[in-house]
Chains A and B, each alone.
Chain A
Amino acid sequence: MPEVFKSGKTKPESDEIKKILGEKMTGSSFGSCVPRPHRFKFESQQDDETVLLLGRRHIVTNFGWIALICFAFVIPFFWGEFPFLKALDGNTLVSLTMLWYLGLLFFGLQSFLMWFYNVYIITNERLVDVDFVGLLSKTVNVAQLGKVEDVNYTQNGFLANLFDYGDVIVQTASEQKTPDSSGEASAFTFESVAFPDRVAALISQLTEEAEK
């Protein structure tokens, strides 16, 4: 008897996808491009959905805030150079120093969490772009692979070319602007992702297969 409906079975990966994912990519949880992440789940993931790629901004993009923290860390060593601070009593100066370092710690932790949890997920069925903005807002964009129309990527600047990262822009059939993406070319702009060529190739391949 012919099989009319198959439940709970995922579509097997094609050789092209295996080849793209098999190429050298970072495997650790802190990686910018993690193929088939272990013990990873996301909100609204379906039972038969397999995560093919988990990505986030390239680790190099964190150098800005890390350098700022390093610079700010040494500023209290020169408190004495500021005439206004010289006039403060010892207790207040110690409190101010503690506040400074707590503020730095908060900024560092916050920046790290924003980098770590702002991810894009490519599954065998759809694309998910999770954007957290500040402490109190989040935007989750989801698109079925069949609705993807166009995929392109850009690499701008010296660092982007040196460390091989760039923006992957995905145009979908139902293009809409979301509050977080006011300055972006698409709601699905994966910013500063590692190996943008391979990510774009993977999405194109998955879209092709979804259309068949």
Chain B
Amino acid sequence: MIVGFMVKISMVLILILSLIMIRQESLMDRVVNLPIGKSLKILTWGFFGITLFVTVIVLLA
């Protein structure tokens, strides 16, 4: 019970961290503008999408 609750809380935490990572990546890309920056942006958004999907599943389960 407690472990399940802690897992859910941790999932939400990772979801928030992935949002921070998206913001940080765009700031990094602004400071150092490399051609591959767009692909990295897609990668971080993809990670956020996966995290959101998994978190929703775990929270609803």
Task: Please report A residues at the B interface, Cβ cutoff 8 Å.
Answer: 29-30, 37-43, 88, 91-92, 95-96, 98-99, 102-103, 105-106, 109-110, 113, 116-117, 119, 121, 130, 132, 135-136, 138, 140
Contacts and interface: CB of A to CB of B under 8 A. Distances in A.
Contacts of A39: 35
State the majority secondary structure of interface residues on A: mixed
Given A102-B51, A117-B32, A130-B31, A109 B43 contact: yes
Main secondary structure of the interface of B (DSSP, over half): helix
A113 B17 CA distance: 14
Interface string B14-35: 1001101100110111111111
A95 B7 contact: yes
A96 B18 CA distance: 18
Say which size band chain B's interface belongs to: 20 to 34
B42 interface: no
A98 B32 contact: no
B3 A96 contact: yes
B21 A113 contact: yes
Contacts of A88: 3
Contact of B28 (A38, A99, A103, A132): A132
Contact of B21 (A37, A95, A135, A140): A135
29 contacts: A29-B36, A39-B35, A40-B34, A42-B31, A43-B31, A88-B3, A96-B7, A98-B54, A98-B57, A99-B11, A102-B50, A106-B14, A106-B17, A109-B21, A110-B21, A113-B24, A113-B40, A116-B40, A117-B28, A117-B29, A117-B31, A117-B32, A130-B31, A130-B32, A132-B28, A135-B17, A136-B24, A138-B28, A138-B31
Nearest to A108: B47
Contacts of A130: 31-32
A72 B58 CA distance: 21
A109 B39 CA distance: 13
A37 B35 CA distance: 10
Nearest to A91: B61
Contacts of A106: 14, 17-18, 21, 47, 51
Contacts of B40: 113, 116
Contacts of A121: 32
B31 A91 contact: no
Contacts of B7: 92, 95-96, 99
Nearest to B18: A106
A105 B57 CA distance: 18
Nearest to A132: B28
